[in-house]
Amino acid sequence: MNGESKMTIDDLNQEIKGCHKCRLSETRINAICGEGNQNAKLMLIAQAPGENEDREGKMFIGPSGKVLDELLRASGVKREEIYMTNLIKCMLPKYRKPKQDEIEICSEYLLKEMEIINPDILIPLGYYATRYIFENYAIPLPPRPEFYTVYGRLVLTDDRKIFPLRHPAAALYHPSVEEEMLENYRRMRFFLTDCKWYPVCPMKRYYEEGRLDKRWIELYCRGDWGNCVRYRMEESGEPHPDWMLPDGSVDERLREGGL
């Protein structure tokens, strides 16, 4: 191999399987590599494998995996359409929290995966994966008691979108969040395609004319269009002005442009 930029996912997986850079290699059975569509638009990033995954060498096959499958089925998204990986590639003994040096060492593999797969949207699952991704992109984090507020909120960075979700295991331990989780996981299907109204939407015209910030297009038209007020009004046949933005607010400056 002549350079890191030419690394393939198979090359990376061989590194992961043979890794002995930290203490976790002494207690694992298998270092777990990512799985799924290598051309995926969505990359799910969990915290670490569990006992079932460690034993079988596969992603999400234990109790959390069953919950994930149910959530994906409800959202209309197939495992074959996404790429799944972990922040930490080896099982954490007794399901303890990951240590900072373990995160620093193992996240090097995650960064290489992100470069090779090059997804449009990163979907970190749970606290540690989300905290790492936010810190990596210099996104401010709320205090721990308010951390739940980041789940289900699409965030735009210079080159990626980030959509944090609760880890599937949360439904096992906190049934009260199941409904919220289901609603947020269902929104993943919006990310697989652009809004069907986008080709004829005034937002597209305003953007191409340089009159509308790109973030509106990326966060809604090419992002979470199911939560776009304009989309919902189009679907229900409700009239709305061309200069109404996707969040339902009105920008009179667009109207003043004469369109």
pLDDT beyond 70 at 90: yes
> pLDDT category, 158, cuts 50, 70, 90?
confident
Contact call for residues 98 and 92 (beta carbons, < 8 A): yes
Q: Name the nearest CA neighbour of 183 among 63, 71, 70, 80.
A: 71
Side-by-side strand order, sheet with 155-156: 35-36, 83-86, 42-46, 121-124, 161-162, 155-156
- Mean pLDDT, the chain, whole residue set: 94
Single-letter amino acid, residue 71: L
pLDDT beyond 80 at 4: no
CA distance 251 to 259: 12
- Residues near 40 by Cβ (< 8 Å), separated by ≥ 6? 81, 82, 83, 117, 119
What would the DSSP string read from start to end of 150-187? GTT--EE-SS-EE--B--THHHHH-GGGHHHHHHHHHG
Set out the domains of the chain in order of their start, with CATH numbers. Answer: 4-192 (3.40.470.10), 198-256 (no CATH)
Q: What is the model's pLDDT at position 205? A: 95
pLDDT beyond 80 at 257: no
